[in-house]
């Protein structure tokens, strides 16, 4: 009786597995995933700085972006267009590359890792992260990644992400955005250890040893009060 | 390698994840939930198991839960739960199914609609295989009871007094 029941329930599937709504479309390989990936990573979170935390970040903040970084923001806008066309997103802000500026720089054994930001047309900021000593690409941009955090704050008031890139395999870039007024975030790793990071222009950055896994991010205001918290989904 | 793996997962499972979300949420939020699910996949690509689909369903489920909380907070309503699709083409079954708890409905959906084994359903639900099996059989039993009760109600002949 009950197996018949499951069969009956399966027949009432509102989106049948073998029906037109669920038929696999012919797999259409993307022309290139690189730009989409770069932008996709971006939406997950925002900026960051490594375990060698933000030494001298105050001096770096506001530094006008060099041409290769500005070009990267321009490319980010093109990637956003592509992401929309590819159906990855329905809305994506456009950055004003002419106003790109430094936010946080962290020192690592691979040289400085930099977080840059540029205002966008939706009232927020787009960002780009690169390694200062990496040479420019042939097209005049910089190898790195970036994107535009969602303008609508998440329930936790914090967005964050982590990624490593081929050129710097020993490090995991950890970055994020806090949507409320905060001066620091405390990053709790899965092994229970913690790292404190400054928040600049609502963003934070760290270069963690690759393999570290972040379990929780907690933001604090200038008085030390907890103002937001986000755990691994 | 990371890029290739993500591309493969996306190509192979995008439609399955999309269908999963469509079975549980109104169309207006489907694209956002699917996008967010694959963004989490991308971010945590080194943690995605070899058989990624149950894991993707689990992420989509949590993303949907977040979306519901956001909707409830913003609009102070239950638009998502009201609009979530139920069984189609079988009114009696739909009524009995919709009367179950969400906990019961979800395990039944995973088996009947996603076609998952109970082992994979346990991965999605974040419980042990044994717990999932118990949950599944109880849910099935409750649905059977409700259905039996509904179908036993037949029109009674009117009493005629002469």
B20-36 pLDDT, tens digit each = 998 888 877 888 888 88
Better-scored residue on pLDDT, B70 or A11: A11
Q: How many Cβ contacts (< 8 angstroms) between chains A and B? A: 104
The nearest CA of chain B is from the CA of A207 a distance in Å of 16
pLDDT at residue B58 is higher than 50: yes
What are residue B6's phi and psi, to 5 degrees?
-65, -45
A115 forms beta bridges with: A104, A129
Contact A10 B63 (CB under 8 A): no
Q: How many domains does chain B have?
A: 2
Quick: pLDDT tens for B67-78.
Answer: 776 665 554 433
Residue A165 is predicted with a pLDDT of 67
- Which residue matches tokens 């982590």? A162
pTM over 0.90: no
Q: Which residue has the higher pLDDT, B25 or A167?
A: B25
Assess whether pLDDT exceeds 60 at residue A40: no
Q: Does residue B97 form part of some domain? A: yes
Report the C-alpha gap between A127 and A118 in whole angstroms: 6
Residue A22: per-residue pLDDT: 24
| Residue ranges making up the domain that contains B93 | 87-153
* Residue B146 pLDDT greater than 60, yes or no: yes
Hunting for tokens 């977080």 — which residue is that?
A115
pLDDT band at A64 (very low <50, low <70, confident <90, very high): very high
Contact across the interface for B140 and A161, Cβ inside 8 Å: no
The residue from B43, B60, B85 where one domain ends is B85
Q: Average pLDDT in the A182-197 region?
A: 92
Residues B28 and B96 in one domain: no
Weakest-pLDDT range from A91-95, A188-192, B115-119: A91-95
Partners of A36 on chain B (C-beta within 8 Å) are none
Res A75 pLDDT > 50: yes
My answer on whether B81 and B92 are in the same domain is: no
Please indicate, yes or no, if residue B112 is contained in any of the structural domains: yes
Task: Answer whether residue A36 shows pLDDT above 50.
Answer: no
Residue B21 maps to a domain: yes
pLDDT digits (tens, 9 = 90+) for A199-219: 999 999 999 987 788 889 999
Q: Which residue of B has its CA nearest to A27?
A: B11
Tell whether B119 and B80 lie within a shared domain: no
Name the domain boundary from B85, B105, B133.
B85
CA distance A123 to A100: 14
Residue B46 lies in a domain: yes
Does residue A112 register a pLDDT over 60?
yes
The strand ranges marked E within chain A are 101-108, 111-119, 125-131, 144-147, 158-163, 171-178, 184-189, 194-198, 203-209, 214-220, 226-231
Rounded to an integer, what distance in angstroms lies between the CA atom of residue B98 and that of residue B94? 6
Same structural domain for residues B74 and B15?
Answer: yes
Identify which of B16, B90, B140 has the shortest CB distance to residue A12.
B90
Residue A48 in this model has a pLDDT that exceeds 60: no
Domain boundary among B85, B110, B142: B85
Burial B95-125, CB ≥16 within 10 A → b, else e: ebbeebeeebbbbbbbbbbbebebebbbbbb
- Nearest residue in chain B measured CA to CA from A83: B35
pLDDT of residue A164: 67
| Residues B78 and B98 occupy one common structural domain | no
Among A12, A25, A34, whose Cβ lies nearest the Cβ of B87?
Answer: A12
Cβ neighbors of B121 (< 8 A, separation 6 or more) are B54, B107, B110, B111, B132, B136
E strand map for A13-88: none
């Amino acid at each position: 009786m009950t197996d018949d029941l499951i069969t009956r329930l399966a027949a009432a599937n509102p989106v049948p597995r073998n029906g037109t709504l669920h038929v696999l479309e012919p797999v259409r390989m993307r022309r290139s995933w690189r730009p989409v990936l770069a932008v996709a990573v971006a939406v997950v979170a925002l900026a960051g700085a490594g375990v060698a935390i933000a030494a001298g970040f105050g001096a770096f903040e506001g530094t006008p972006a060099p041409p290769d970084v500005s070009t990267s923001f321009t490319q980010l806008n093109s990637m956003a267009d592509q992401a929309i066309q590819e159906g990855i997103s329905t809305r994506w802000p456009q950055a004003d590359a002419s106003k790109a500026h430094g936010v946080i720089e962290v020192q690592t054994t691979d040289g400085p890792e930099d977080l840059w930001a540029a205002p966008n047309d939706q009232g927020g900021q787009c960002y780009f992260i690169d390694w200062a000593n990496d040479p420019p690409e042939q097209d005049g941009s910089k190898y790195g990644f970036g994107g535009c955090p969602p303008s609508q704050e998440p329930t936790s008031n914090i967005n964050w992400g982590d990624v490593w890139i081929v050129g710097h395999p020993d490090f995991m870039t950890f970055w994020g955005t806090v949507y409320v007024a905060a001066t620091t975030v405390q990053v709790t790793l899965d092994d229970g250890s913690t790292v404190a990071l400054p928040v600049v222009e609502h963003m934070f950055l760290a270069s963690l040893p690759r393999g570290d896994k972040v379990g929780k991010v907690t933001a604090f205001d200038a008085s030390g009060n907890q103002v937001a918290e986000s755990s691994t989904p | 390698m990371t890029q290739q793996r993500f591309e493969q997962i996306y190509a192979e499972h995008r439609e399955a994840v999309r269908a999963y979300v469509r079975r549980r949420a109104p169309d207006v939020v489907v694209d956002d939930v699917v996008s967010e699910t694959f963004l989490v996949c991308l971010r945590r690509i080194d943690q995605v198991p070899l058989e990624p689909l149950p894991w993707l369903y689990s992420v989509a489920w949590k993303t949907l839960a977040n979306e519901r909380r956001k909707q409830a907070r913003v609009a102070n309503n239950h638009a998502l739960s009201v609009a979530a699709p139920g069984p189609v083409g079988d009114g009696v079954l739909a009524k009995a199914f919709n009367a179950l708890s969400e906990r019961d409905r979800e395990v039944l959906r995973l088996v009947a609609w996603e076609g998952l084994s109970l082992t994979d359903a346990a991965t999605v639900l974040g419980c042990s295989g044994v717990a999932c099996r118990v949950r599944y059989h109880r849910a099935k039993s409750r649905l059977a009871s409700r259905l039996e009760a509904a179908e036993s109600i037949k029109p009674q002949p009117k009493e005629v007094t002469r």
